[in-house]
Amino acid sequence: MNTTAAVVERIETLRNEINYHSRQYYVFDEPVISDTEYDRLFRELQDLESEYPQFIIADSPTQRVGDTPLASFNEVSHSLPMLSLDNAFGEEEMGEFERRIRDRLKLDGDQKISYLAEPKLDGLAINLRYEQGRLVLAATRGDGSRGEDVTSNVRTINAVPLKLQGDDWPPILEVRGEVFMPRKGFEALNRHAQELGEKSFVNPRNAAAGSLRQLDPRLTARRPLSFYTYGFGEVIPAPIASTQSESIYRLRQWGLPVSPLQEVVTGIQGCISYYRQIVQQRDALPYDIDGVVFKVDDLNRQQQLGFVSRAPRWAVAYKFPAQEEMTQVESIEFQVGRTGAITPVARLNPVFVGGVTVSNATLHNMDEVMRKDVRPGDTVVVRRAGDVIPEVVSVVLLKRMGGTAPITLPTRCPVCGSDIIKPEGEAVARCSGGLFCPAQRKEAIKHFASRKAMDIEGLGEKLVDQLVEQGLVDNPADLYSLTQEQLSGLERMAEKSAQNLLDALEKSKLTTLAHFLFSLGIREVGESTAQSLANQFSTLDALQQADEARLQETPDVGPIVAAHVVSFFRQAHNRAVVEQLLEVGVHWPEVEPQAADQQPLLGKTIVITGTLSRSRDLIKQELQVLGAKITGSVSKKTDYLIAGEEAGSKRSKAEQLGVKILDEAALYALLESLK
């Protein structure tokens, strides 16, 4: 075989392999090779076609990248009209739909009607025309009779086959379907737009429509579009099967992607059951849908039923309640979450959306408020999807009234008056009154009592809820004033349980400075940072008096953590709660400040795993006093892995990375050598 023949054969083999793997991925959702291997095949084909351009053909997988920009879209007349569907809103209207079909077909009570059911995609309808198995035209719906030629753009969509598989397709085959943008792709597209300072899309449907109508196909090629087939235009010869479901199955065999949720159902009860099933799955689907479509499955019956106006009598779209509506913003308020997050909330003129009346909608954070420029008095688009909290999607600027002013972030918490802190580079602003703020009360107390903080055994979530809700505890210091009588009166708290909790509270009074600092819930101060601060300052007084520059001398403490610590102790009410805790007897052993030369493990990262003879917390404290940083996972930065019995995967990873592994005996030998 000569060189040219070998090249042609290899190019054809690569095209067939790539088309096969594309079909497995987009049509059957059963990829058989990795993305890396697919990319390798694709690059090999690109290289060969680049070296031998005379062998490039229009339907090669490499020709999806997009052609030169168009001046405008040409108008296309559809061989058969692209019809709309009648809508049904509710089970009663669905019942009317079947009653009309039964009357027109003159069916008696025993004769059943089968329907092909599938989710109604929220995208852009498209007609694809294949001649001799090759894609020759793609057109939008337009007015139903005439649409726009978007062939160059549709060719860039990987899910659309440029050439049909097999050889038993009809010579002329038009299929109808929906071009849509999956949710993940939509989110990534908007993130990229925001990074570039460009306008973002309102929803995936607008993004899909805007992408398909780009005059430059190379821009469309960069958009994450996909496609599902659901019907037919002109087919010669026709039909290709006796039922809608069998016809769609044939399309799938020819390489056209169809919804994996298609199902044949029987009668109106089958339709309603399917609709309810899809409603349950809706929010988990990777793409947006706005209802369910039901089509009489028997094609002879479809022909008997015919059409009315611009819609077939044999099909209906059972629509979901509207998820987006327009309304007016009456005011914007700021709510404080249980972790102190400040969330702007739009108070709305009530509107029915997503099946419920909505009067409030989240604006997420100040970055979103500024990006969308939402103001009181604005007309806005509100979205509600399933159980998701309603959100303001966009402002209708054409309806904005004069005299409105942008919203600014308040400087004080609307609940407790503490400073609101929004570190540079972070989206979320927070109230700094964690120990004092009523909005954060339950979470602050739960954290204070947790095992790695004050370790108050028996003080669980439900008990904290009761204590706060009955007004027995306003801040962590109040825990130490509880009486047995108060506790015994709570749900599921007998005298013994009450006494056990009082004993645990008394025991918790003896702690360490590091545990105490961690228990205060200072933003960004975790266990390791609390230990570093305790090692650096030794006393609470010294820490409280330190400024940001002094705090940043502590290992692992940067400007953000330093700012949070200063802000916390600057609040008078936080200092008051700390004083109350000291007054009720919370204390810890005083230790001498340690210089760097007294911390021989400073800069060392250690991981502890497996079963050891002593408490991990005690071992951890000993190592932290010597300057070590304790982390939970093994990485290249890990210096030592302390491995007890049944160390498991962390030991295996340490061995792979060459991390030094110490058993308990080796650990104690190390500690002894450092004294």
CA distances from 234 to 81, 159, 171, 416 (A): 9, 21, 11, 69
Instruction: Name the strand (E) or helix (H) holding 47.
Output: helix 35-51
Helix (H, G, I), strand (E, B) or coil at 265: strand
Torsions phi, psi for 647 (to 5 deg) = -70, -30
Measured distance CA(72)–CA(354) in Å, rounded:
38
Measured distance CA(208)–CA(155) in Å, rounded:
15
Q: How do beta strands 605-609 and 429-431 pair? A: unpaired
Which amino acid does the sequence have at 147? Answer: G
Among 120, 295, 620, 650, the active-site one is 120
Torsions phi, psi for 622 (to 5 deg) = -60, -40
Torsions phi, psi for 427 (to 5 deg) = -80, -30
**Length of the chain (residues):** 675
Note whether 416 and 573 are within 8 A (CB): yes
Measured distance CA(280)–CA(261) in Å, rounded:
13
Measured distance CA(657)–CA(375) in Å, rounded:
55
Spatial CB neighbours of 264, under 8 Å, sequence gap ≥ 6: 114, 115, 116, 117, 245, 297
Using alpha carbons only, how large is the chain's radius of gyration in Å? 33
Measured distance CA(457)–CA(505) in Å, rounded:
8
Q: Is 120 a residue of the active site? A: yes
Q: Is the dihedral of CA 362, 368, 370, 374 positive or negative?
A: negative
Comparing CA positions, the residue from 21, 140, 133, 43 lying closest to residue 82 is 140
Helix (H, G, I), strand (E, B) or coil at 223: coil
Measured distance CA(493)–CA(330) in Å, rounded:
46
Other Cβ atoms within 10 Å of 204 Cβ, number: 23
Which token pair is 205? 């449907």
Measured distance CA(620)–CA(623) in Å, rounded:
5
Note whether 294 and 303 are within 8 A (CB): no
The catalytic site residues sit at 120
